[in-house]
């Protein structure tokens, strides 16, 4: 059943009720905001919006890092699986928050250290810290391209 929401990028829209994700611990620095929906951004780019349903003016630009970065496998403690009711990490969707500084798209970064892990079947999500020291908070996308990692 569709639910009406107010979104930052699109104004009032409808999302399917089974598309609403619960982040029991919120997202780092936004712990009190726990309900989100993923909305498509520009067509055929891989970019999406993670729209807060608790605060209409909060939306994160996200993408699936594995679609763009070779060999991206976050390293987590096993309690992550339990908290999202997952039997194995392969059942999860992994997204990362992207930051594009206004007027400086060439300085776009992706957060590889704190990816968003989703259990779509249970409508659960969380942001977790990868213990892989190569995964940084602000990985410069153009540098990753130059190094052949994208």
**Distance between CA atoms of residues 119 and 108, nearest Å:** 27
Most distant CA atoms of the chain, gap in Å: 45
pLDDT at 149: 62
Per-residue pLDDT of the chain (150 residues; tens, 9 = 90+): 888 999 999 999 999 999 999 999 999 999 999 999 999 998 878 899 999 999 999 999 999 998 878 788 888 877 878 899 998 888 899 999 999 999 999 999 999 999 999 999 999 999 999 999 989 999 998 887 666 665
| Rg over CA atoms, the chain | 15
Cβ-Cβ contacts under 8 Å for 119 (sequence gap 6 or more)? 84, 85, 86, 91, 92, 125
Whether domain 2-146 has CATH 2.30.290.10: yes
Contact call for residues 56 and 70 (beta carbons, < 8 A): no
């Amino acid at each position: 059943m569709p639910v009406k929401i107010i979104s930052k990028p699109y104004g009032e829209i409808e999302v399917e009720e089974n598309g609403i994700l619960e982040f029991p611990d919120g997202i780092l620095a936004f712990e009190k905001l726990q309900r989100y929906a993923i909305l498509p951004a520009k067509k055929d780019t891989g970019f999406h919006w993670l729209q807060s349903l608790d605060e209409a003016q909060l939306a994160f630009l996200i993408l699936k890092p594995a679609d763009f970065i070779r060999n991206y496998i976050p390293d987590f403690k096993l309690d992550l699986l339990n908290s999202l009711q997952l039997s194995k990490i392969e059942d999860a969707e992994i997204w990362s928050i992207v930051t594009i500084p206004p007027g400086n798209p060439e300085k776009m970064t992706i957060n590889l250290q704190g990816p968003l892990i989703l259990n779509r079947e249970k409508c659960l999500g969380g942001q977790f810290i990868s213990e892989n020291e190569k995964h940084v908070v602000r990985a410069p996308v153009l540098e990753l391209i130059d190094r052949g990692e994208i």
